[in-house]
Structure 1
Amino acid sequence: MKAEQRKNEGHQSSRGSSADGLKSLRKAIRVLECFSLQEPRLPLSEIARRAELPLSTAHRILATLRGAGIVEQEGDRDLYRLGLKLFELGGMVLANLELHREALPFIEELSRESGETVHLGVFDGSRVVSIEKMDSPRGLASQVTIGKGAPAYCTAVGKALLAFQPEAAVDHVCRLGLKRYTPQTIADPKGLRKEIERIRTSGYAVDDREHQPDVRCVAAPIRNYTGNVIASMSVSGPATRIPKEQIPAFAARVREVAAKLSARLGYKGRQ
């Protein structure tokens, strides 16, 4: 009886903590919404008034946001402004919007020519996130959906990104653990690093039934005007429709389309 009571109290405590966290988040958003182009700098008292918060609460929220670089305080003055971290995050959003807009014609081209599912993905630090997907008219039960993360180490669209990240990113992925999804998954760091070297040399990545049984995928990196790999594009389909002997042909076409998109984004090629 006591154990059950403690269990219920624990659940209530957990629910209470979640509710408190959401309330704090809503308050922080209200604080950020106080700023505008017309009034980019505000004193604490005005922020508290606009956000309808006690001075102490507004001050505590501003201190947390300042620690994260989201809000900045002008020296010792009682004036606050939005921080560079928001500019950085906003720049990422704008970059992805531009990438998405420029990539659509190439995704459609690759989808039309291959008849298979095409993905456009970006790297989020340890996983690959699909930001666009065009399904095959012939059907494919892909587990990768737009906006959702997938393992970078066992998907072609992920490996094409991971291979061109700093070594620290590869180390981070390995430290998080390499879960085995199928018997073909590369689940040891040494094997993954060998695969990454192959991708860097060949310029394309292959997922040979490593993430989903009986699904093959071929991907190539996409570069921006600086030469940095910012995304990858892939073609995936049932292994019966992408047999091993046809992987080089699929890879050549994916690389060609990825190179065209890279050029559209300003990449001039290796100098």
Structure 2
Amino acid sequence: MGLKTIERLGDLFALFTVARPEWSLAEVARELEVPRSTAHGLLVSVAATGLIDPVGQGRYRLGPRITELNAVRMRRRDVHELAGEVLHALTAETGETSNLGVLAGSALLYLDSVPGRHHVNVTGARPGTRLAADRTAMGKVLLSHRAEPRAALTEERAAEVLAGAGLRRTEAEAIRRDGVAYDLGGVSPEIRCVAAPVRDEAGTVVAALSISTTATRFAQHHDQLTHRVREAAAVLGERLRSDGA
């Protein structure tokens, strides 16, 4: 992405204000002083990310992804600060490596990891590590909730978001229904992970918690690990809600 494109993106988002929440293609082209074809390409590309949404009659407004990004911006530090005790407790209870992550574009960004206590252990990713979100349990959780159909996101648009993220619609629906997602060897053949969503006071999924273990121990303790990670995510979510009250 060139500097000129980045500048145009900044100029595009600057157009959307409380006083003027919607813009047409012609209006965007005029305000940015670019050809209609250039404005159209820019709007279509940005709409594909969920940052803006078409609202009919060739007009656009900010999309649901903006709300999610703002939630991450407002809560990422709080999530990280509040998660330490929860992660350590989860590892103490299960003996397995526990992790905290958020979405960064189409990647999963690891914020924290507490190593497990087994002799044969799964090493968690270092904070700051990015992996393809659709290959990880935490990433699948976050992608599924990003694409959850709602007032500002139609079924068709949700399907486009999932397709772009490499996640099947049926898989995303199952993750939202069950409250967990699994990595059954997607990152490494010998590693298994189970993850659950963390919700803030608005009910927005702002992060995910996961447990990483060996394939053997996962097969032996699948139900217990799934239950524990759900509980831990709920505890962290409650702390976020209490902190934000």
Bin for the TM-score computed over the shorter chain: 0.5 to 0.7
Deviations 1:208-250 (A, max 9, x none): 112211110011100000001111000001112211x521221
Q: Which residue of 2 aligns with 1:174?
A: 163
SS in 1 for 2:216: coil
Deviations 1:75-109 (A, max 9, x none): xxxxxxxxxxxxx9898545211111111110110
- In 2, the alpha carbon distance for the partners of 1:193 and 1:69 equals 29
| C-alpha contact 2:198 2:205 (8 A) present in aligned 1 | yes
- Give the 3 Å change call, closer, same or farther, for CA 203–65 of structure 1 in structure 2: closer
Deviations 1:159-213 (A, max 9, x none): 111121135466345336x4xxxxxxxxxx5xx2222121111111111112211
| C-alpha contact 2:138 2:196 (8 A) present in aligned 1 | yes
- Give the 3 Å change call, closer, same or farther, for CA 96–169 of structure 1 in structure 2: farther
Q: Which residue of 1 aligns with 2:122?
A: 140
Looking at both structures, which has the greater relative contact order when contacts are Cα pairs under 8 Å and sequence separation is at least 6? Answer: 2
Cα offset for 1:154?
2.2
Aligned partner of 2:135 among 154, 157, 164: 154
Number of equivalences: 179
Q: Which residue of 2 aligns with 1:204?
A: 180
What TM-score do you get using the length of structure 2 for normalisation? Answer: 0.63
- Give the 3 Å change call, closer, same or farther, for CA 214–230 of structure 1 in structure 2: same
Q: Which residue of 2 aligns with 1:121?
A: 101
Cα offset for 1:115?
1.2
Q: Which residue of 2 aligns with 1:36?
A: none
Amino acid at match of 2:160: D
SS in 2 for 1:164: helix
Aligned partner of 1:249 among 221, 224, 230: 224
- In 2, the alpha carbon distance for the partners of 1:229 and 1:91 equals 9
- In 2, the alpha carbon distance for the partners of 1:242 and 1:159 equals 18
Q: Which residue of 2 aligns with 1:67?
A: 11
SS in 1 for 2:99: strand
Trace 1:19-58 onto structure 2 (pairs within 5 A): none
Q: Which residue of 1 aligns with 2:191?
A: 215
Gaps of 5+ in 2: 15-67, 149-156
SS in 1 for 2:134: coil
- Give the 3 Å change call, closer, same or farther, for CA 90–159 of structure 1 in structure 2: closer
| C-alpha contact 1:132 1:146 (8 A) present in aligned 2 | yes
SS in 1 for 2:213: strand
Q: Which residue of 2 aligns with 1:225?
A: 201
Aligned partner of 1:266 among 210, 219, 241: 241
- Structure in which a larger fraction of residues adopt strand: 2
Amino acid at match of 2:143: L
Cα offset for 1:263?
1.0
| C-alpha contact 1:123 1:161 (8 A) present in aligned 2 | yes
| C-alpha contact 1:127 1:150 (8 A) present in aligned 2 | yes
What TM-score do you get using the length of structure 1 for normalisation? Answer: 0.57
Q: Percent identity?
A: 34
| C-alpha contact 1:216 1:237 (8 A) present in aligned 2 | yes
Amino acid at match of 1:117: T
Gaps of 5+ in 1: 1-20, 25-59, 71-87, 179-188
Moved over 4 A (4+): 63-66, 88-94, 167-170
